[in-house]
Amino acid sequence: MGVDDIELGEDCDFEQLLNESLENSEENSVVDGIIVKITDEYALIDVGQKIEGRIFLSELTVDGEVKFKEGDTITVMILSTRGERPNLSYKKVLQKNKFEEFFKKHEEDFEDLTIEGKITQVKKRGGFIVEDDEGLEYFMPLAQSFLKTIGALGKSIKAKILKINKAQNSIIISRKKLIEENRVNKEGKIEKMLELGKVPINGVIKKITSYGMFIDLDGVDGLVNYNEISYKGPVNPASYYKEGDEVSVVILSYDKAKQHLSLSIKATLPNPWEEISEQLEVGDTITVTVSNFESYGAFVDLGNDIEGLLHISEISWNKNLKNPKDMLKINDEINVEVIELDIEKKRLRVSLKSLQEKPFNTFVKQHKVGDLIKGKVATLTDFGAFINLGDVDGLLHNEEASWQNNAKCKDLFKKGEELDVKIIKIDTQKENISLSLKSILDSPAKQYQDEHKVGDIVKGMIKDNKEFGLFVTLTDNVDGLIRKEDLGPLTEDDIKVGNEIEAVIVNIDIKRNRIRLSAKRLEREREREILKVVNDDTAMTLGDALKDKIGH
C-alpha cells in the first residue's frame, strides 16, 4: 500500500495509518524485474513471484514513447499482491529516489522549508497529492489545506513541510501553516508600520486596477484607492503609474478583521488646495490646460494637481453650444476667470465666456433698429421663431412673420431656413432683439392702393359685425373697416353679415395694413360726381346724369 491508496478524514493521523500499513505487510519493497511482455495497456514483469507482476504502461511512457522494451531489466516497487498477481509501480521507485535526495538535503532544516507545487490528485476524503517541478510528490491532508476539493485539481499552491517519514518515503505538507505564519508575520509588520504614524513608506506597485493600485510593502499588500492618488480626485491609476514603479505611501487605516490595509499617495504630497488658498480668489484670471471632457463641460488643470470645472454654460455666450469638444481640445491652453473657489470642499469653477465681450453688446455696436439682416431659423415655438443672427438670437413674433391673419411661424418656416428680416426693436435692459419679416414685404393694403385711392367708391361683402363697426371683405386678402359713426343712413337690415355694401375709401394705412371705409360719406361723393358730370361739356343732360347715379 502506498500514499495513493490511503484515504483519510480530516481528523485522521496520516503517519499512524501509514506506519500500520507497512508493519503488517511486505509490500512497498523495491526489486529488480525483467519485462517479459508489453501490451497496449500494461507490461508484465517477472519479479520472482509465482506469477508475473503488472505495471500500467502509462508509468513507462514519456512524451508518448515507452522507455523500455521486452527483455529489459527494470527496478520496480511491489505495491500489493492481491489476487496473487503483484501490483507494481515504476513511478514509486522514482519517487523513492527523489525522496531520498530530498531527505539527504533537508533532513535538518525541513521545518522551515516552503515548497511550491501543483495539485495532481484529489483524494475523496483524505486530501491532495501535490507534485513540485522536480516531480517529487507531497501529501497535504484536507484539514491542512484551507481548500475545497471541488476545483482544486491543477491548482498551484505554496505550503510548509509539516512532517517527513523516512521509513515511509512520505512528506506531509500544510498550506494552512504557511497562511497562518504569513498572517502573523503580516500583522507584525503592519503593527510596526502603524507605530510610525503618517510617516511615508516606500513600496512597489504590484497590480493596477480600475479602482486603484495594490502596493507591496515588504511582503504586505495594501490598496491605494483611485481617490487617494491625486488631489484632482478620482483618476485613472494607469495614467500615472505602471506596475513595478516604486512609490511613497502613507497608511490611512487597517481593518484587522478583513486584513485590509488602506494607503494614500496624495497624503505624502503637499496639499495644493492649501497652497492656493492665499494665492487665488474669485475674479482672478488664470491660465489653465484642458485635461478632460464630460457631457456637461470640461475639466481644466492648473498644473499643481488641482482641476477646475469649466461648465458648458461658461464656455461660450452661444446658447446653442451642446458639446464642449466643438470649441475646445485636450491640452488647449486657455485663460479663464475664477468664478467659485471653495477650499474646504475642494471645488473650483472657472469661466471662459466671462473674459469675452457679450455677443449682445457686440451686436448692438454693429446694428441698429431698421437694419436689414440675414438669419437662420433656430427654434420654432407657438408664439414665433427664434432667428440665429450669428452669436445672438432675435425673436420673430407670429404677428411680424406675415401679413396673413393668424399665420404662425411654425407653419410658415422650417428649422435652418435662411430669412431676410428687419430689426424693429432692441431692448438693452432685457437684451432682447425683435425682428420683422412682414415689414420688408408689401402689405395687401399697399397692393390694394396700387389700384384704388382715397375717395373711391368700392363694393364689398360684410364679413363681421362688431360693436365698433363692420368688417367688409374687399378682396381675398384685404378687409376694410366701417366704424359705427361712419355707417350713416344704413339700417339694421342693410348691415347683416353676407350683404353687399358700398362705401367710400377714407384712409389706406399700408404699414398697418388697414383700410378705413365710410358709408356716411357715400352720398356726398355721389353728389360730387353728379356736379362733376353737370359741369362736364358733354351731350348728357342733367336728367341722364341723375338717372345713372341713382339707378332710376
pLDDT tens column, 524-543: 777 776 776 666 655 455 55
**Cβ-contact 455, 505 below 8 angstroms:** yes
pLDDT at 6: 38
72 class by beta-carbon count within 10 Å (0-12 exposed, 13-18 middle, 19+ buried): middle
> How far, in Å, CA of 489 to CA of 526, rounded?
14
The arithmetic mean of pLDDT across residues 126-134, rounded, is 88
- What domains are there in the chain, each with its CATH number? 3-92 (2.40.50.140), 196-268 (2.40.50.140), 272-355 (2.40.50.140), 359-440 (2.40.50.140), 444-520 (2.40.50.140)
Name which of 320-334, 335-349, 416-430, 479-493 the model is least confident about. 479-493
Q: Is the pLDDT of residue 421 over 90?
A: yes
Query: Minimal CA–CA distance to 352: which of 377, 373, 332?
Result: 332
> How far, in Å, CA of 361 to CA of 356, rounded?
11
pLDDT at 417: 93
pLDDT tier, 25 (very low <50, low <70, confident <90, very high otherwise): very low
The residues that bridge with 297 in the sheet, in sequence order, are: 294, 311
pLDDT at 543: 57
pLDDT tier, 1 (very low <50, low <70, confident <90, very high otherwise): very low
Q: What phi and psi values does residue 14 have, to the nearest 5 degrees?
A: -60, -45
The residues that bridge with 115 in the sheet, in sequence order, are: 159
547: Cα separation from own chain's centroid? 91
**Cβ-contact 514, 481 below 8 angstroms:** yes
pLDDT at 3: 40
pLDDT at 10: 42
Summarised one tens digit per residue, pLDDT across range 11-22 is: 445 555 444 444
> How far, in Å, CA of 96 to CA of 99, rounded?
5
Residues recorded for the chain = 552
Q: Is the pLDDT of residue 209 over 80?
A: yes
**Cβ-contact 139, 170 below 8 angstroms:** yes
Taking each helix axis as running N to C, give the angle between helix 522-534 and helix 542-550, from 0 to 180 degrees, rounded to the nearest 10: 160
The arithmetic mean of pLDDT across residues 406-435, rounded, is 92
536 class by beta-carbon count within 10 Å (0-12 exposed, 13-18 middle, 19+ buried): exposed
pLDDT at 168: 75
Choose from 52-56, 187-191, 439-443 the range with maximum mean pLDDT. Answer: 52-56
Q: Pairing mode, if any, of strands 73-80 and 478-483?
A: unpaired
pTM: 0.46
Query: Minimal CA–CA distance to 334: which of 317, 314, 318?
Result: 314
> How far, in Å, CA of 284 to CA of 296, rounded?
23
548: Cα separation from own chain's centroid? 88
Helices (H), ranges, 107-232 = 175-195
pLDDT tier, 296 (very low <50, low <70, confident <90, very high otherwise): very high
| 305: region left, alpha or beta (phi > 0 left; psi from -120 to 50 alpha) | left
Amino acid making up residue 523: E
Query: Minimal CA–CA distance to 145: which of 180, 176, 182?
Result: 176
The arithmetic mean of pLDDT across residues 228-251, rounded, is 89
Query: Minimal CA–CA distance to 307: which of 293, 320, 318, 295?
Result: 293
> Could you give the dihedral angle defined by the CA atoms of residues 228, 229, 231 and 232, in that order, rounded to the nearest 10 degrees?
-110
Mean pLDDT of the chain: 84
**Cβ-contact 159, 130 below 8 angstroms:** yes
Q: What per-residue string of b and e applies to 376-400 under the rule 16 or more CB within 10 Å gives b?
A: bbbbbeeebbbbbbebbbbbbbbeb
pLDDT tier, 79 (very low <50, low <70, confident <90, very high otherwise): confident
DSSP state of 7: -
Q: Is the pLDDT of residue 366 over 50?
A: yes
Q: Give DSSP secondary structure letters for 52-83.
A: -EEEEGGGGEETTEES--TT-EEEEEEEE-TT
**Residue entry with cell 360684410:** 462
Summarised one tens digit per residue, pLDDT across range 497-531 is: 889 888 999 898 877 778 899 888 887 777 776 77
The arithmetic mean of pLDDT across residues 289-293, rounded, is 92
The arithmetic mean of pLDDT across residues 152-165, rounded, is 89
The arithmetic mean of pLDDT across residues 324-335, rounded, is 93
**Cβ-contact 76, 53 below 8 angstroms:** yes
pLDDT at 24: 40
